[in-house]
Amino acid sequence: MELIDIGVNLAHDSFDADREQVIERALRAEVVQMIVTGSDASSTQRAVQLASAHPGRLFATAGVHPHHAGQLDAALANGLELWMRSPHVVAVGECGLDYFRDYSPRAVQRTAFARQLELGARIGKPVFLHQRDAHEDFAAILREYRGALVGGVAHCFTGTPAQLAAYLELGLAIGITGWICDERRGAHLTAFMAEIPAERLMLETDAPYLLPRDLEPRPASRRNEPAYLVHIARTVARARGEPLARLAASSTAASRALFGLVEPAPLAACAAAVSHGTRNQHE
């Protein structure tokens, strides 16, 4: 079985002490490829560095999260475009709208979102999308660029059946996280998992965030990591009424098709290489 985590924040400082071990644990858990999320200038730079250090296993996105929309001036846009053109970068984003936190003014968010969609269209890479409590504006802006974009994914989908239908109509893939494992907030997702076409369904942890609430045993740190993707996959497969192996195969194929990922070398060889590299760091 092979799984791909399409959204992991490996640049986050919670991974600074054991990042290589986290990668190794993911590989051993059959998470054979991971896309490292860039959400501002520093995390994008770090994501590209990580992808460069782990070619064929780690990839990066390059973008500005709506929380940081105010940072997207002309200089940063130019810098982002250079990163976006890197062969290690497979998507533009994380970009979108977040009216739940409102850390950036909404008008500024909309401008930054449109600017990144323009970059994605010009560069010809899919977009990695964030939306929270902003569906109407989010969908309206996307419709303006739909014809120019090569594809995209609604990252960490937590919405309603109507929102799902809208995103599918817009041609988006759907990213499902451990939110579905939360009986308080995510149980509603179970009812319509089967409505997502297999070729549009992708899996992600959004680590270190969104540790699956029903994970046993729970890590003392409460930090999520990509090795737990198989737990999310089991929950999604059960909701869809299909074998885990089938979901793993279809979600992996869908992720590789959207992001242009090439199947990597055999897992055992890569895990050994990661382990060797980790030892060398301490020699």
Alpha carbons 4 and 39: distance in angstroms, whole number: 20
The pLDDT value recorded for residue 283 is 39
Burial pattern 52-69, b for ≥16 Cβ within 10 A else e, equals eebeebbbbbbbbbbbbb
**Percent of the chain, pLDDT > 90?**
93
The pLDDT value recorded for residue 265 is 84
The pLDDT value recorded for residue 102 is 93
The pLDDT value recorded for residue 182 is 96
The pLDDT value recorded for residue 277 is 47
Virtual torsion, Cα 83, 171, 181, 271, nearest 10 deg: -40
The pLDDT value recorded for residue 154 is 98
Note the pLDDT tens digit of each residue in 218-244: 999 999 999 999 999 999 999 999 999
pLDDT mean over 254-280: 71
Architecture, CATH, for domain 3-281: Alpha-Beta Barrel (3.20)
List the end-to-end C-alpha distance of the chain, in Å, as a whole number: 33
The pLDDT value recorded for residue 203 is 98
Note the pLDDT tens digit of each residue in 78-122: 999 999 999 999 999 999 999 999 999 999 999 999 999 999 999
Note the pLDDT tens digit of each residue in 46-62: 999 999 999 999 999 99
The pLDDT value recorded for residue 282 is 39
**Pairing between strand 58-62 and 31-36?**
parallel
Note the pLDDT tens digit of each residue in 10-25: 999 999 999 999 999 9
The pLDDT value recorded for residue 266 is 81
**Local confidence band at 279 (pLDDT 50, 70, 90 cut-offs):** very low
Note the pLDDT tens digit of each residue in 193-205: 999 999 999 999 9
Spans of all domains in the chain: 3-281
